[in-house]
Chains A and B, each alone.
Chain A
Amino acid sequence: MSGSSSSSVAGRDIVALEGVTKRFPGIVANDSVDLSIRPGEVHVLLGENGAGKSTLIGMLSGLQQPDEGRILVDGKPTPITSPRHALALGIGTVFQHMMLVPTLTVAENLLLGGPWWQRPRTEELEARVAEITRSLGITVKLHAKVSELSLGEQQQVEILRAMVRNSRLLILDESTSMLTPKGIDELGALMRRLVEQGLAIVFITHKLKEAAAFGDRISVLKLGRKVGEIPPERFRALGEQAIISEIVELMFGKQKDDPEAVERPVRTVRAEAAPLLQVADLAVAPTDNAPGLSSISFDIRPGEILGIAGIDGNGQKQLAEALAGQRAATSGSVRLEGIAIEALSVGERRRRGLRYLTDDRLGEGTVGTFPVSINFFLKQVGAAPFWRHGVEQRGEIDERAAQLVREYDVRTPSLKTPVARLSGGNIQKVLLARELAEGAKVVIFNKPTYGLDLANTLASRQRIRDTAARGLAVLLISTDLEELLSMCDRVAVIANGAIVGTVENTDDARTRIGRLMIGLAA
């Protein structure tokens, strides 16, 4: 499917990035990224969440400025100072989140941005739109309100808007994330027609199949760095399968001198032990903004760590919440030590030893303005000995909190410090202390090291290993394949809300998991 038209128009870069670095407090979003964008090419930017794709787009569309490095437009270094400037340079962006005013019509949205003293030039627009839609083979309802259009139609309007403004470079940010499979194919065909007209396209996605199907050139981003590029010549020489396996290698491949690399300690899980947690055919109905779950089945034995691998947003959070009781399951059974708990409340599941460490540490996990001490006991508010007759027992709380702070090495100025003032790693320690406290039998960790620095990451991982070593069953949900491979006994792969396969963590686990993640059989 890759373009054959490219070579004739290709050549000079329309836009190029040279050593572009962008920092935000605490993280480096882009670390000296080079990129060349050429007419007649679909340049795919591939990477997982947090890889720095959106920041890159922000800089190309004038929303953000690079801290280091430079952006060249037509070979000349050009700081892109504002969205208006980006438009003037011919850079049109279709953002991941729709940028249309829902209360205005399509035509009015397309007219936005004209000089304010003018009357909107509706007739002129209609002629221009007719011309563009004819050449692209799409239809657009100009006088419909945007709020009445489907997401696919809205996206076409956004692409059309970029065309109406004579864009030379079209950036599509995660444009397929909200489309139906049919809509995705249509978008692919539309992109092909656009590059045939000599446009340059930057197509951002985290789906490997789309990258291989729609791209001419692929750049892979990982944690803010560009880790590899497949130029068009190679792209055409390789088959789709070969491209995918090369990308898998780039995205998930082991990096040399990786400080996180830990030799996986051989743990012996007693195969004959009865499973602590048994999940059978668990299903959850999809909601407006979250995928559903289907046919989720697994067992975890005492002392075992089961990993859940998958691209972010494939139902990991829903799985964790369904197990913890925060999300209603439509069918299936969950057994803790052989006793069915699927009908029990969140609190009752917790009392029976099922613990859930959320990935939303400040939102769902803690109350930011409450002191550290109270956050240790959030899930026991009102219970003795910390509360008696509805009255807080400050002494009891502080004594136990001080003990937990020592035990879990929480670095806090005092017990009274609001928990939101702590670093992410220390907030995680507070959560760990709370959830691993007395009575835990099964612990669900959702992305336990997400956003933590290296030291805290390693400490959290050790804490999880210790938990399993104490004979607890651990479910470790993570998007970091290295993490899963370094810790788990088995890894199940989740895709579109279903477990698509479970792999023993042996030497070839990496490639087998990678293949499952992109929808191939292990």
Chain B
Amino acid sequence: MTGLFSEVFLSALLFGAVTAAIPLLLAGLGEQMSEKAGVLNIGIEGMMLAGAYLGFVGAFYSGSLWLGFLTGAAGGVAVALIMALLCVRIGLNQIVIGIALTLGLEGLTALLHHFQFSRSYPRLPAADATVIPLLSDIPVVGPAFFKHHLIVYLAVALVFGMGYLYRRTQLGLNLQAAGDKPAALDVAGIDVIRTRTIAVLTTGALAGLGGAFLANVGAGLFIPFITNGAGFLGIVLAMLARGRPVWVLFGALLFGVCLSLTTAMQVAGINIPTDVIQMLPFLAVMIMLVLFGRRASLPAALGIPYERGAR
């Protein structure tokens, strides 16, 4: 039990929390953008899986993590393209299509992985950390927060970029109008379908990137169903964040701590059945939903396909 409170343990726990939080953050930010524009993107789990698989394959064959991130994002965009076509352009039911995409991608990535690697699970070399001078020397906090791969810092910076986008730019206004009152955007002369398509594709890119991070940095390998609900946690985060990116960050970190605790407690050899420990993150979700779910405010036109002139 003493190990639980040691400095090393604590910074390892927090380090793991950040690593676990980044995919959730990217998924949450992506989902937030879709939802802002009025598209409930349940297919995000599938987009993450596509990102994880293609991201891993890209990094594995090229030897470059960055190329892996790129192929991962492209994989997410490819799935998002189907979603945009079916749900935004044709106006099919977003929930049905979202579930179908997730289930389809679960099977497809598992199948492709099996063809390619049979039953072996090759590993990628550990990701290079970008050590921030001075800050990384702070005890506990330093090694936990300032010795990560560069993309971690970029992901956190993206939170503020998104905040700026929503509050200060024309595109931000258009996105919010597309979700809250698409008809108003349409008569203002902006194509609602196009605006929503941009949002869904961006979601795909972010979710794909999140998936690639999960596989390449978080795990260092790809196994089928590796996302294990990370996309769905992203949906929860987006709903609880009430349109504010910084709340997605806080939520992602909280879930990250829970996920990291799961590993840490197993490592620390605490005498609780592992099944119980593994329930922790999902318990946290439920507690958060009970505490804050009531106040979740969703765009008025969320989930409703836009059709011009329909009343």
Contacts and interface: CB of A to CB of B under 8 A. Distances in A.
A, B assembled together: yes
A83 interface: yes
A52 B309 CA distance: 15
Nearest to A88: B189
A104 B180 CA distance: 9
Contacts of A109: 184
Interface string A79-106: 0001110011000010101011111100
Interface in B155-201: 168-171, 173-174, 176-177, 180-181, 183-191
* Interface of A, helix, strand, loop or mixed by DSSP: loop
B183 A99 contact: yes
Interface in A6-21: none
Interface stretch (A110-118, A267-275, A402-410): A110-118
A64 B309 contact: yes
Please tell me the size bucket of the interface on A. Answer: 20 to 34
B308 interface: yes
A120 B169 contact: yes
B176 A63 contact: no
B264 to A, nearest CB: 41
A83 B184 contact: no
A61 interface: yes
A88 B188 CA distance: 11
A119 B170 contact: yes
Which of B174, B177, B186, B189 is packed against the most chain A CB atoms within 10 Å?
Answer: B189
Contacts of B180: 101-104
A117 B170 contact: yes
Which of A88, A100, A116, A117 is packed against the most chain B CB atoms within 10 Å?
Answer: A116
A108 interface: yes
Given A63-B309, A87-B189, A104 B177 contact: yes
Contacts of A83: 186-189
Contacts, number: 74
Contacts of A112: 173-174, 177, 184-185, 188, 190
Nearest to A62: B187
B176 A113 contact: no
Contacts of A108: 173
A119 B168 CA distance: 7
A118 B191 CA distance: 16
Interface of B: 168-171, 173-174, 176-177, 180-181, 183-191, 300, 308-309
Give the 10 A-B residue pairs with the shortest CB-CB distance, closest first: A84-B189, A113-B188, A112-B188, A99-B184, A116-B171, A101-B181, A101-B177, A63-B309, A83-B187, A113-B189
Given A64-B309, A101-B177, 20 more contacts: A83-B186, A84-B189, A84-B191, A99-B181, A100-B184, A101-B181, A101-B185, A102-B180, A102-B300, A103-B180, A112-B177, A112-B184, A112-B185, A112-B188, A113-B188, A116-B170, A117-B171, A119-B169, A120-B169, A120-B170
18 contacts: A58-B309, A63-B308, A63-B309, A82-B189, A84-B190, A87-B189, A97-B183, A99-B181, A101-B180, A101-B184, A102-B180, A104-B173, A113-B190, A114-B170, A116-B171, A119-B168, A119-B169, A120-B168
